[in-house]
Structure 1
């Protein structure tokens, strides 16, 4: 093999390993996992210098699309060979959106990092100036664009401004008469979700979860009841933690329902008047993620424990008055996915697609039937799907953005069980002066 050109060695190693993994998974599912040996990882470290030189050549300013496609064919994408480089170069990508013109928005860096918002299209990668965080409403119309001055809501990407909302002070929803301190700086958004009428924004942050409106912010988490309980127990105000971990939230496409949660809460569902209507016990230790289905009549609720997790479903019609305990066997909240710690997810007709801590995209039906899995690698950090459900974009903590054509066939180098093929990959790596297309 050593006499082969490096790109031939790469092709052979990557394709053979993908085939071996796919065969291993097929055998395990068909016959059980006893006595099955995981495929050996091929040695590819000696090929990385040649891969990097070819990648750089394909990304020269004078390189055209044909040259990029030729590079991709010669050096098929894979995650395993890149592992020696990720400690130095990998970084989380905290948000991605597919715009209607097929371009992408991405925030490079996790919410707590300085980061940068960029737009990605067939011409390349362009920084978006003046925006530090962004989000889109579940009906895909309104965008929230944030910087230190506040949050703007626009009607469409690049469209007219319909709202300008102030950051919370940090004192909202706290008992009066106690010496709580306001925020020194605006909270750092984990997610920003405009309501489908464009008038309010759900702000999820490690400093608290709020609904922003023209009349001011309303705190949802941590809620006042918890703070009052701690005060009643004799805890001094300065010793009460108002921060959140594993904070998350979702708004339904009709704006009628808001789901919020964090490590220390149950899954909490509020109506559009911000009244608590459901308090749902998680299926694992710590509430971690929430998502409505495309039809808007069901939601899934993920909770995690270490790198694993469990996902419950609930019909929207069952939400009013729904109260369940941790690990409840209530038939109204069936387990629909077991094993994934979900960091990001999307929904299309009859299907959820979630990204887990092990680098897999996992798709399953609304009844919990497993549909397919697709391996990207590293922890999946952000996802979006096109309005027609045909294009998926997934980002990871390896600093990779992957654009995937769903239902278009699986290339030989792809690890997965579905007929889906990546069409473009972008590397946003620390220490590089620009992104590279693969």
Structure 2
């Protein structure tokens, strides 16, 4: 094999490993895993210089679509061969959105990093000036655009301004008469979700979860009652933790329900008047994620423990008055997916597609049936799906953004069980002069 051209070695190694893993998974799924030995990848580190030189060359000006497709066939995308480079070059991508014209929006870098918002076309990447964070409503109509001055809501990407919302001061919902300090800087959004009316935005951040409106912000978590109870117990105000970890939130498609939580709470559900209507005991140690299905008739919630987790499904009709504990076996909160620690997810037609901490995209039904899995590599950090459900985009902590045509057939180099083919992969790597298209 060493006498072959580096490109041939790469192609054979990547394809052989993917096919071996797919056989291994197929056999284990049917016959069990006890007598199976997981395939090991052929060494490819000596090919990385040649791969990187070829990738740089195909990203020069004047390369057409046919040449790019030929490059992908010759150097099929893979994760495992790049592992030696990821500590130096990899980075998280905290938000991706598919726009209706087929282009992508992405925030390169995690929320706590300076980062940059970019718009990605077929072969070009353009910085978006004046926006530090962004989000979109579940109906895909309204966009929330954040910078140091506040949050603007527009009707469509690039559309007219419909609301201008101030940042919270940090004192909202805190008991008066105590020495709590306002924010020095605006909170850093983990998630921004405009509501269906375009006049409000759910702001999820490690500094607190707030509902933003033109008249001001309302603190949703930590809740004032929780803070009052700690004060009543004699806790010094300076020792009351207002910081959140694993903070998460989701808004129903009709804007009438909010699901939110953090690692020390159950999953909380509020109605349109911000009154609590349900508390869902998680299916893992640390509540971590929430997502409504497309119709708004069901919500899933994920809790994690180390790199694993459990995802529960709850029908919205069962929410009023629901009050369950951790690991409850209440039939209204069945376990839909066991194993995944979820950082990102989307709702398809009758199914959920989640990204886990091991680099897999996993699809399962609203009734808990497993549909398929698709390997990208590294922890999945952000996802979106097109309105017609045919295109999926997923980003990872490896600095990848992958555009996947669902149902288009599985290439021979793809690890996974679904018939889905990646059409583009962008590398947003630290240390490179520009993003590279694979």
Q: How high is the TM-score relative to the length of structure 2? A: 0.99
**In structure 2, what is the equivalent of residue 35 of structure 1?**
35
Tell me how far apart the structure 2 counterparts of residues 83 and 23 of structure 1 sit (CA, whole Å). 23
CA distance in 2, matches of 1:89, 1:118: 18
SS of residue paired to 1:333: coil
User: Are 1:288 and 2:288 an aligned pair?
Assistant: yes
Aligned to 2:391: 391
Q: Report deviation, 1:62.
A: 2.5
Deviation (angstroms), 1:181: 0.3
- Contact 2:123–2:437 at 8 Å: present in 1 too? no
For residues 140 and 41 of structure 2, what CA distance do their matches in structure 1 show?
A: 42
Could you tell me how far apart the structure 1 residues matched to 2:389 and 2:18 are?
A: 26
Give, in whole Å, the separation in 2 of the partners of 1:130 and 1:247.
26
How many pairs were matched up? 438
Cα shift at 1:232: 1.1
1:150 counterpart = 2:162: no
Which residue in the other structure is 2:409 paired with? 409
Aligned mates of 1:196, 1:135 — CA distance in 2: 13
Distance 1:373 1:66 in 2: 29
Once the two structures are TM-superposed, the CA of residue 64 in structure 1 deviates from its matched residue by 2.1
2:216 aligns with 216
1:94-136 per-position Cα deviation (integer Å, ceiling 9, x unaligned): 0000000000000000000000000000241000000000000
Greater than 6 Å deviation, 4+ residue runs: none
Matches within 5 A, 1:148-187: 148-187=148-187
Q: 2:15 corresponds to which residue?
A: 15
Q: Residue 324 of structure 1 aligns with which residue? A: 324
Contact 2:96-2:383 within 8 A present in 1 as well: yes
TM-score (normalizing by structure 1): 0.99
Q: Considering only aligned residues, what root-mean-square deviation do their CA atoms show, in Å?
A: 0.6
Aligned pairs (5 A) from 1:257-268:
257-268=257-268
Give distance in 2, aligned partners of 1:3 and 1:62.
32
Q: Secondary structure at the match of 2:20?
A: helix
SS of residue in 1 equivalent to 2:388: coil
Task: Deviation per CA, 1:162-200: give whole Å up to 9, x if none.
Answer: 000000000000111111000000000001000011000
Q: Which residue number in structure 2 is paired with residue 345 of structure 1?
A: 345
* Partner deviation per Cα, 1:286-333 (whole Å, 9 max, x = no partner): 100000011110010000000000000000001111111111100000
Displacement of 1:66 in angstroms is 2.1
Rounded to whole Å, the distance in 2 between the matches of 1:319 and 1:433 is 50
Q: 2-side partners of 1:343 and 1:123: how far apart?
A: 28
Q: CA deviation at 1:229?
A: 1.3
- Report what 1:141 is aligned to: 141
Residue equivalent to 2:205: 205
